[in-house]
Amino acid sequence: MGNFVVDSLGLSDVLKMDKRQLLYQILNFGMIVSTALMIWKGLIVMTNSESPIVVVLSGSMEPAFYRGDLLFLTNHRDEPIRVGDIVVFKIEGREIPIVHRVLNLHEKEDGSIKVLTKGDNNRDHDRGLYAPGQLWLQHKDIVGRAKGLAYFCYAVFVSSQFAWDVFLVTKHWSLLAPVLRLNLVHLKKRFNFLWAIASRQSVVRLGVGSDIGRRYWPTNDGNDAPEDNEEVVVVVREDITDHLIPK
């Protein structure tokens, strides 16, 4: 029974290692983790955003973005937010950020802003989602502005699975193999990595959503009626559909 457990967990290869080999494997793993952390911290500094890459978790922004899409964010103060921009914001008391489009915007001379957002696929604006008594978003609530789909992340994650498998096979580090493979499969299912790469339509969505939003979204004068907003969403959908590559 003991041998079965050892073999099933891949401990036999680990037990065969001497101290030098085990230390080498630990150092390799540490380098991988530290490299990933450095890349992430570097992105934070470059983008000035606490979360440079976020995942779309709902269908409220369809057809511009879909569940599982990875968005690349920036949050530079010298790039002012404008009506039609897609922003990621956090609400007090909620940990999960929300990805929606700027519907109305008020600016002051001191640089402060008040923003009202709305999901392209939602009928109403987001005031019902804000904290009790909150009517507008401010700079402190905004995590970043979406600059496009982070396709390079899809390639990194998918290639990482192959790299990990090769590493585990060649280095006989089978102790972590079941855990890593399980996590990678879970990630692919949750974020649809392979689908995002294979889908021809997803490639066209890069940069289209923001440009169309700037052309068609209501102005920031605050006089737009809800039915006008709904009509705009229909126009946006039709325009994006016209840009899709025919099958």
Strand-pair partners of 114: 106
Strand-pair partners of 88: 99, 144
- Bond preceding residue 246 cis, omega within 30 of 0: no
Catalytic site positions: 60, 100, 126
- What is the Cα–Cα distance from 242 to 128, expressed in whole angstroms? 33
- What is the Cα–Cα distance from 215 to 219, expressed in whole angstroms? 10
- Residue 33 tokens read as 């983790």
- Residue 38 tokens read as 């450095």
- Residue 20 tokens read as 């030098």
- What is the Cα–Cα distance from 233 to 227, expressed in whole angstroms? 10
Q: What is the dihedral of CA 228, 233, 238, 244, to 10 degrees?
A: 160
User: Of the candidates 87, 102, 65, 62, which has an alpha carbon nearest to the alpha carbon of residue 229?
Assistant: 102
Q: Which residue has the tokens 């920031």?
A: 220
